[in-house]
Amino acid sequence: MEIAMIAAVAKNGVIGKDNDLVWSLPDDMKYFMNTTKNHFIILGRKNYESLPPKFRPLPNRTNVVITRQPAFKLNNALVVHSLEEAIELCKKKNQEKVFIIGGGQIYKQALSLTDTLYITEINHAFEGDTFFPNYNKSDWEEISRVAHPTDERHAYSFDFVVYKRKK
């Protein structure tokens, strides 16, 4: 099973502030939705709860929510209590690919297990309190890069980049 992470990351590593995004990039949101569609996604409870209620669970994907709260329950998502348990569940469900979608702690735990990174590299630094984990780019091969300029809907330019872990 391929383990992928998907994140939008500012120049300074910021991915969020106060459990929310600090930018509005509609084409990145569309990219995220199209890339993860019809896959299992793994996310932390706080990240899940930060989603607008109308998008919980994220549609057209199986949401696997990690929490340390033993009694935590959700009606429309699978609840597990560790990253290892989430990955094992995805394997048992015969998934070919699973996406880790955050937040910061889940990304940090999953980085060493990850095969592919789907990173939207935002060409701007932001103030934030949640960061994507540092990773050594020499351990990864850039597979593709698509530039997206600023426009009337996007105040910041960004690149959609896919990295594969080198063997």
Query: At residue 33, does pLDDT exceed 90?
Result: yes
Q: Cis link prior to 102 (omega < 30° from 0)?
A: no
Alpha-carbon span 2 to 114, nearest angstrom: 8
- Please name the fold of domain 2-14+23-95+105-155: Dihydrofolate Reductase, subunit A (3.40.430)
One-letter-per-residue 3-state SS of 105-150: HHHHHHHHHCCEEEEEEECCCCCCCEECCCCCHHHEEEEEEEEECC
pLDDT score, position 27: 98
pLDDT score, position 150: 97
pTM comes to 0.96
- pLDDT tens digits, 70-122: 999 998 999 999 999 999 999 999 999 999 999 999 999 999 999 999 999 99
Query: At residue 17, does pLDDT exceed 90?
Result: yes
Average pLDDT over residues 20-42: 96
Query: At residue 167, does pLDDT exceed 90?
Result: no
- Residue 158's pLDDT band (boundaries 50, 70, 90)? very high
Rounded CA Rg of the chain: 15
| Nearest residue to 74 via CA among 45, 37, 106 | 45
Q: Where are the domains of the chain?
A: 2-14+23-95+105-155
Average pLDDT score over the chain: 96
